[in-house]
Amino acid sequence: MTDQSPAYHYAVIGRALKIIDEAGPALTLDGLAARMGMSPAHFQRTFSQWVGVSPKRYQQYLTLDHARRLLAERHTTLATAQDVGLSGSGRLHDLFLTWEAMSPGDYARGGAGLTILWGWFDSPFGPALVMGTDRGICGIGFSDEVGEEAAFVDLASRWPHATYVENPEALRPWALSAFAPSAGAETPLHLIGAPFQIKVWEALLAIPTGHVTTYSEIATRVGHPSAQRAVGTAVGRNPISFLIPCHRALRRDGGLGGYHWGLPRKRAMLAWEAARTGM
């Protein structure tokens, strides 16, 4: 594995996140690099290759204050986002995404008759399990917190009667476009969920990179303003992590809320996006 590998970069970032959580944002570059067992120059170079900003700047992005600034300054109004064309079947904000949803009847059969391909890929956020049907990606999960076997069981249990076939080569073009959107290739998604879940996931798809929304706004957008708890559950059950950006949903007070694949990854995703959008 080379220093250019996304998995290498995220492994460094993941370790740094844990150290920052323990020591706080006042930790200096020299102190952080020493804790990482790296020289300051090597650590800063590796860090900047992954995120594009200095470790100090990134530390600022990881704080609760940053989440609150996002909420105050980049809080997306979902109705407006859809009105100006940020959601739909064509080019979705800054990613080339198209999607279609499985019918409720097909979903109720638990994936019976469906063949789901799967494979492991490097991503900016650690090893990623990608699953897909002939229509598009239907699942993305991460293994750092739970391990590869548990991540596979987690995703596969959502469609227990499907047939699972390991075939990373068939999925590779979609996986590459998913984690490198600048390549300009289209990434099709196949949303497999209950009707209410799909409505929530479609609302998440309307949130542009570098922006956030709240669980309460999503509830209002899907026509159930008092169903914030149900919305939170649906957000947590989103099977296509990162591409359906449940990491951009925050509590009304700016708190991060939960994240199915671990809060350090949610913070890393928000900070990674913020660095790329100049926030």
Please indicate whether residue 246 is annotated as part of the active site.
yes
Selecting among 78, 138, 243, 246, the annotated active-site residue is: 246
d(CA 143, CA 141): 7
The catalytic site residues sit at 246
